[in-house]
Amino acid sequence: MEAPEYVIRVVDIETTGLEPPAAEVIELGWQDVHRSEGAWVLFPEGRGSRLYGCDTPPTAETMAVHHIMPEELEGLPKFTGLHAHAATLRAGTHEANVYAAHNAAFEASFLAPLLEAGPKPVPWLCTYKAALRVWPEAPSHGNQALMYWLDIHKAVDIERRMPPHRAEPDAFVTAHILLKLLEKATVKDMVAWSLEPPVLPRCTIGEHRGKPWPLVDSGFLHWMINKPVEPDLVWNARRELERRSIPEAF
């Protein structure tokens, strides 16, 4: 099999909770996107999913999302050590140049420590952060909402994208969103955007909630910077002040 020019491995995980190390990976799903002869395509053989055992059963809250029952995981190997590293690195038929996920910070918090043990660091691409930049006008930037808003749901095989919130179907949907993003932005740009906080299209707090940043009063932007609001909001406020070339007030 001829090697592709470039491989982006879209991954999705389901877990027993929200944060490692207390939470454990119980499902890994992937869908490879290849560039061959200059064109980006989904690679049919570069897809799949695996279930894993765990020491602590999934919480009721997480089971309500992915519906993976503890009895499905009994006797399965755990997602740890060299086994986990090999499973992620060799998920597809070719090694990945970039890993991608929707809200990649979550997947990376579990997988990046494993991948860093490899021969070379592999960067992450966050399709959520890229979508915020490319389609700020979208009513929602969630994985499923973008699928419908971009009108790609008819092209995304319904059997493979169901059920939502399972690892392989979600990776499959994200891969289709990534193909649309690749029509608008380069991998280099999207990897760079993924290292920065999300560019929120609107202010989300106070009297200016729901307004695009250019319509938010500069005094309120200064207030956000000097008050203990969420770091992502502070970053967006600073970004808007820089766009206006207004210095911060201390």
- Give the number of C-alpha atoms closer than 13 A to the C-alpha of residue 199, restricted to the C-beta side: 17
- CATH 3.30.70.20 assigned to domain 6-194? The reply is no
Peptide bond into 212 cis (omega under 30): no
Give the contacts of 181 (CB within 8 A, at least 6 positions apart).
127, 130, 131, 134, 190
Q: CATH 3.30.420.10 spans which residues of the chain?
A: 6-194
Phi, psi of 210 (to 5 degrees): 90, -10
| CA–CA distance, 106 with 112 (Å, rounded to integer) | 10
- Under DSSP, the state recorded for 161 is S
pLDDT at residue 250, as a whole number: 46
**Are 173 and 144 in contact, with CB atoms under 8 Å apart?**
yes
Q: What angle separates helix 104-115 from helix 81-89, to the nearest 10 degrees?
A: 120
The pTM of this model reads: 0.90
Dig out the tokens for 80 from the structure. Answer: 């740890």
Q: Where are the alpha helices (DSSP H) in 43-155?
A: 60-66, 70-73, 81-89, 104-115, 127-134, 143-149
Q: Mean pLDDT for each 10-residue chunk of the chain (250 residues)?
A: 85 91 92 92 90 92 93 91 71 83 94 71 94 96 96 86 92 97 98 97 94 95 91 95 72
**Hey, how many other C-beta atoms are within 10 angstroms of the C-beta on 209?**
10
Nearest to 51 by CA among 167, 173, 174: 167
